[in-house]
Amino acid sequence: MPRPIKLTAPAFDLTHHTLENGLRVVVAPDRSAPVVGVAVLYDVGIRSEPEGRTGFAHLFEHLMFQGSANLEKLEHFRYVQSSGGTFNGSTHFDYTNYFEALPSNALERGLFLEADRMLAPRITSENLANQLEVVKNEIRVNVLNRPYGGFPWIYLPSVLFDTFANSHNGYGGFEDLESATVEDARDFFAKYYAPANAVLAVAGDLAVDETLSLIEKHFGPIKKRRAPKRPDFAEPFLTAERRATHDDPHAPIPAVAIGYRVPDPVGSLEEHLATLLLAEVLSDGDASRLQRRLVQRDHLVTDISAYLGEFGDPFDERDPTALTVSAHYPDRDALEPILRAIDEEIDRIAQHGLEPGELDRVRTRLVSVLMREVDSVLNRTLEFAKFELIYGRAELMAELPARLAAVSEDAVRSAAAELRPERRAVLELIAGGASR
């Protein structure tokens, strides 16, 4: 039996600390460049939205940029940009993040800015109305008036999952967004934006003790509030195939998204990593199984991809999550041949295993991509915060190469055996909006 290949990863010196108000802190010094990253992740995302308030987590993210306890609207922007930094935020299924990259001499400024809005964002009727229009325009541009807008991440969950938390439109419907009130926003902040429900990561050109003192100075005075208990969002695997269609008047050719529920990324990490490597075997690069079969040989599709997580980040979500296979194809009647070809390739892996060197090839490439993505200080900061929040261990990010190297071919074959037709949801996109 061949030995697992050795895949190395950079070593990170991490310091953990928890403030009296419950805020979890990760500090990671790196003196290679005079830059620091500051990231705050709150344990609230799309899954936490109540019924009747679809899109609220994303709307609230926008509100967090509209002034805070000691800053007027736009001052956060000015302080970061005048320091030569960049900033942003984003909403995910299981968390919302806010972050800055700054010259290292502006570290305290970045900490003050994040602490100030954790203390008290300016939630007013004017700010709510303004950001409601911004979000609605974002939906018009990114979803309603764009070919394949929101496909498949908005539409596939409603076919694959059953509960509102897992299946609803995370961008939100206009009626739900327009019914949101200032009181809703204040309640959302009070419930989910407690220090104890967040992780702060700071990385880059910094001194650990000095950084911890600055964090205590700015975040320490924020009042302690109880973190909400996170519900169990898990759902059982499907026992029968589900199908649905989505009309897209702007799409030039049809598309399909196939979703499979997969093992718990946190509670069953080894199985999750095997499924991740299976996704790489299926669609990573021109030598992958689905590319060779469906694009190069059978000419059934113009492109095809397989990925874990709603946004393609395999470590972005807790349970439940999905493996998605997505493809575009020119022949409207090719859906059934496409599904058969995908089934055959998955079954071939389950029954006969992998080609010599195939697993090592995709594993090496995957690790290279994962490590390249954390080259920048800001990306590294965000990853530390994410792994600390989702997995409870920021260190896991650096352990991934070794853990992936330990995944056996048998584990990948077992992952393929779980992707049976009765466990999938198929969403067919009808191009031009003309339903059959």
17-31 average pLDDT score: 97
193-197 average pLDDT score: 98
* Helix/strand/coil for 27: strand
- Digit-coded pLDDT (tens) for 253-263: 999 999 999 99
Distance of alpha carbon 305 from alpha carbon 303, whole angstroms: 7
- CA 122, 124, 127, 133 torsion: positive or negative? positive
- Digit-coded pLDDT (tens) for 64-111: 999 999 999 999 999 999 999 999 999 999 999 999 999 999 999 999
Mean pLDDT estimate for the chain: 95
Task: Confirm whether 15-219 and 242-431 share one CATH topology.
Answer: yes
* Helix/strand/coil for 58: helix
Which pLDDT does position 5 carry in this prediction?
A: 59
The domains of the chain are located at 15-219, 242-431
340, 259, 236, 271: which is closest to 307 by C-alpha?
259
pTM for the full predicted model: 0.95
- Digit-coded pLDDT (tens) for 131-174: 999 999 999 999 999 999 999 999 999 999 999 999 999 999 99
Determine contact, residues 98/89, Cβ cutoff 8 Å. Answer: yes
377-387 average pLDDT score: 97
In sequence order, which residues have a C-beta less than 8 Å from that of residue 342 and are 6 or more positions away?
258, 290, 294, 325
Q: Which residues pair with 18 in a beta bridge?
A: 24
Distance of alpha carbon 16 from alpha carbon 61, whole angstroms: 26
How far, CA to CA in Å, does 434 sit from each of 145, 246, 327, 329? 16, 10, 19, 16
Q: Which CATH architecture has domain 15-219?
A: 2-Layer Sandwich (3.30)
**Which CATH number does 242-431 carry?**
3.30.830.10
